[in-house]
Amino acid sequence: MWEIIPTSTGVHVIPQNDEGGHLLESECPCHPRQERVTNGNLVIIHDAYDGRLAVEWAIEILASH
């Protein structure tokens, strides 16, 4: 599950119940990626410390074959 948190710097997408803490207003140690969406807003997508993103990608890849 993911949590969406709007801030003055953009919308942060953060994994819920993650092993590590995430910072919203400064440089987060998870090295989040930033994407600008079509309406011009910035979306900051934080990586999960527990590796769930890799598991989600693997499930998606396996489901497509």
Confidence of residue 20 (pLDDT cuts 50, 70, 90): confident
In the chain, pLDDT over 90 holds for what percent of residues? 31
Q: Residue 54: left (phi > 0), alpha (psi -120 to 50), or beta?
A: alpha
Q: Give the pLDDT score at 23.
A: 92
Distance CA 7, CA 38 (A): 18
Q: Give the pLDDT score at 60.
A: 81
Distance CA 32, CA 14 (A): 9
pLDDT at position 38 over 90: no
